[in-house]
Amino acid sequence: MKKNGLPFAKFYRNNPGLSRVFKWGRKLKKFALITGASGGIGKATAEMLAKEGWNLYLHYHQNEAAIKELLSICRHFGAEAIPIRADLATDGTVKTIAENVFHLDAIIHAAGISHYGLLSDIDEAAIDKLYRIHVKAPLLIIRQLLPKLRQNAVSHIVLVSSIWGQAGAACEAVYSAMKGAQIAFVKALAKETARSGVRVNAVAPGAVGTNMLSRFAPEEISDLEADIPLGRLAKPEEIAGAVSFLLSEKSNYITGQTIGVNGGWYM
């Protein structure tokens, strides 16, 4: 985003008077950072929060067309929406994101990639990418932005984990390990931040109808649905609903928890 030809962040810093206006104006609004906002769950979450009155920092990496469409949708609902492009698998990510985030009430880490295959067949580069996106990036982003969250009476951190972080999955050992690390991180950080008003939770989806399942044939999807007690895949909007709940006053006494949204697949 540019103002007078300058990147928004630089324009903001170079105009102290404008900075004061933005700071005071935004103090009256709720702002959430969503990583992976161009993905299925991230997009559904952004749309739901925009409808509920949240203003959004929308992180994405490559899918510019999807983020432009999402910006239009969010702004249609009256939300202020700021795009942030960054590769979570590389160094420098935290700086890029932090420079574009000002007032902040919530962080939702919805970014993620999958890897299907035996542990014996995965190379180190793939392991490192999974680690950076699912574990290192959210830890560093949260560490950097935690002081902003602590400026509020109540703030929220939600990580979109996975059923495999709870139960583990054959042919997804590394992915399961990373998602399990997210759940452990949520439990630990919740204990550190509870007294400062920052609630930390996770949502653990089961099988969701997003592009992550595109590698499976229709017959395999049917077999998968037959294995789920509710008999179908989750909709991205149903995962977004759990995130919305954790950001609402209805969940004021919930922290350090992982909410399973899996149709009874794991209990």
The tens digit of pLDDT for each residue in 149-185 reads 999 999 999 999 999 999 999 999 999 999 999 999 9
List the structure tokens of 254: 């919930």
**What's at 51, amino acid-wise?**
K
CA 222, chain centre distance (Å)? 28
Give the three-class secondary structure for 18.
Answer: helix
Task: Give the position of tokens 């590698």.
Answer: 215
Select which of 12, 57, 60, 175 is catalytic. Answer: 175
| 181-228 pLDDT tens trace | 999 999 999 999 999 999 999 999 999 999 888 888 999 999 999 999
Residue type, 25: G
First to last CA, the chain: 44
Please give the C-alpha separations between residue 85 and each of 58, 99, 110, 147, 202, in angstroms, as whole numbers.
8, 12, 15, 22, 24
Q: Which domains does the chain have, with CATH numbers?
A: 2-261 (3.40.50.720)
Regarding pTM above 0.85, the answer is yes
Is 175 considered catalytic here?
yes
The span from the CA of 26 to the CA of 36, in Å, is: 23
- Specify whether the CB–CB gap between 35 and 101 falls below 8 A: no
